[in-house]
Amino acid sequence: MQGEELDALLAELRQRPPEQVVKLCHVVHLPPKEGKGDRFLVNVLNGSYVLDLASGVVTDAVTHKPSQPRLAHLLVKYLAKYMGAKPGEWVPLEKFPSGQSYAGNMMRRVYRPLIEHFGYDPVGFDTACRAIDGEKEKFGGLSYSFNLFPMMRLLLQLWVGDERIYRSPTANIMFSSSYLGIFTAEEAVDSAEYLVSELVKAKKKGSKT
């Protein structure tokens, strides 16, 4: 990754007044305390993550385990770059610069795993979406919206398949227009992949219980 890019984003974030980050990004600033430096607490789907500003490490607020590297990158960039635009309307991947060239990535990393796990399981899909705080939407198919970060939203639609009439499942993902101000097409795909991975985790966790 983008180690140099992440370092640059962290440097940029450290220059932003914490109160500005709190106001624009709708996060919590945790001031230095008990040997810990400045941190930011950020809601991510149905969980929360903590960014240690000095080290640049992002950890789960409950388990204290390090986050996935791609999620950490997205979170740091959100805090460093977001300037407070409202989430706005839904836009497809093609609206991002060079977005069309990432359609194959989206299919391979997002749509295929989604359809593999939920394509013929509408009940499982509904249950998993609600488990990670998805909000039911009145769009086509089974539609849910999610807050990746407080001001960054995704819309997920699934049209379930029916083997009796040879209908294959299909899916669609769109992003809040606030994405366009800071995230690239590749980062949009990264965020969609993270969302689907969390849905799959929720399904597996539910099946165990």
The CATH number linked to 109 is: 3.30.310
**Is residue 115 domain-shared with residue 201, that is, in the same domain?**
yes
Backbone angles phi, psi at 103, to 5 degrees: -60, -40
**Is residue 173 domain-shared with residue 202, that is, in the same domain?**
yes
Q: What is the pLDDT of residue 209?
A: 54
Domain boundary among 63, 81, 99: 81
**Is residue 133 domain-shared with residue 186, that is, in the same domain?**
yes
**Is residue 27 domain-shared with residue 104, that is, in the same domain?**
no
**Is residue 123 domain-shared with residue 190, that is, in the same domain?**
yes
Q: What is the pLDDT of residue 167?
A: 78
**Is residue 58 domain-shared with residue 95, that is, in the same domain?**
no
pLDDT tens sequence for the chain (209 residues): 467 889 999 999 999 999 999 999 999 999 888 778 899 999 999 999 999 999 999 999 999 999 999 999 999 999 999 998 899 999 999 999 999 999 999 999 999 999 999 999 999 999 999 999 999 999 989 999 999 999 999 999 999 987 777 878 999 999 999 999 999 999 999 999 999 999 999 998 876 65
pTM: 0.93
Q: What is the pLDDT of residue 206?
A: 76
Distance CA 51, CA 16 (A): 14
Q: What is the pLDDT of residue 133?
A: 96
Distance CA 106, CA 125 (A): 19
**Is residue 19 domain-shared with residue 99, that is, in the same domain?**
no
**Is residue 35 domain-shared with residue 125, that is, in the same domain?**
no
Q: What is the pLDDT of residue 67?
A: 95
Distance CA 144, CA 140 (A): 10
Structural domain for 55, as ranges:
3-81
**Is residue 94 domain-shared with residue 195, that is, in the same domain?**
yes
Report the domain count for the chain: 2
What is the sign of the dihedral through the CA atoms of 61, 58, 117 and 204? negative
Distance CA 105, CA 126 (A): 25
**Is residue 66 domain-shared with residue 109, that is, in the same domain?**
no
Domain boundary among 81, 98, 117: 81
Give the CA distances from residue 114 to residues 117, 142, 186, 205, in Å, rounded to whole numbers and listed in that order: 5, 13, 18, 16
**Is residue 167 domain-shared with residue 192, that is, in the same domain?**
yes
**Is residue 33 domain-shared with residue 126, that is, in the same domain?**
no
Domain boundary among 19, 46, 81: 81
